[in-house]
Amino acid sequence: MSFKKGQLVFFFFAVVAQLALGQTTSLREKFILSPKDTIRLDTLSIYPSSFEVFCGKQKLSSVSYHLDHGTSRFYLIDPCSDSIKLRYRVLPMDLSKTYFRRDISLIYAETKGDREMIVTTTSAANNCLYCVVAHGAILRIYEKKPLVADQVAINYRKADISPRQRAMLDFAMKVCLHSDQIEDGDFAPLHAHGLNDEDIWDIAAITAFFGLSNRMASFSNMMPNPEFYLMGRVPKQK
């Protein structure tokens, strides 16, 4: 099933937001000989405003070459007798591919609690009372651990969670607090625990989306329902 209209709108604004951030971690720099044919520079799509071409030390204008930002295909119109230096930033995806909506319940196959664990942990960092209590209740139910929500909200590094979940929360917290410092090295621990690039995108998206929710909930003074505090802590009364 293809993306729905609302999801496409969210996808568009997510890409625009990343363009505005201009993350330094996506920077690429390459040296090539003057190509006679079209070449593909990268497996990912290129930020439109970031692309620079140098013939030796001289920066070329955009009329001297053609670049398809989506496919990262580059063609030099005016020949260069010197080596060519290319500098650009990439998006975290190939926009020339067709993407499909995924079943959110399949994103984290090992446990349904991963999403709620991310939300509870990052919401605590954002001081959102409603989100910590409400999503902490769901986390306790999914994980069947009455103490886990309190643990990850206070200090997830001391919580009774798996190494995979700790790596997941390490990344989520960096996105939450220091997204401008994300670099390629942050992905390796997640890959080591079997998470792929789409999973990593989901962790970042969940963190970012609930960062917005945290602020709106706090701004509007949303308060948790009293029953949320005990959900998942004590057996349900029959």
Tell me the average pLDDT across 130-152.
94
Tell which of 55, 89, 123 closes a domain.
89
Instruction: Dump pLDDT digits (tens) for 72-92.
Output: 999 999 889 889 999 998 887
139 and 200 assigned to the same domain: yes
93-96 CB contacts, 8 Å cutoff, 24+ apart = 93/44, 93/45, 93/201, 94/43, 94/44, 94/45, 94/70, 95/45, 95/69, 95/70, 96/45, 96/70, 96/71
Share of the chain above pLDDT 90, in %: 59
112 and 27 assigned to the same domain: no
153 and 202 assigned to the same domain: yes
Tell which of 58, 89, 120 closes a domain.
89
58 and 113 assigned to the same domain: no
Whether this model's pTM surpasses 0.75: no
Q: Token pair for residue 183?
A: 């670099």
In a domain, 85, yes or no: yes
Instruction: Dump pLDDT digits (tens) for 216-237.
Output: 999 999 999 988 999 998 776 6
Domain that holds residue 168: 108-229
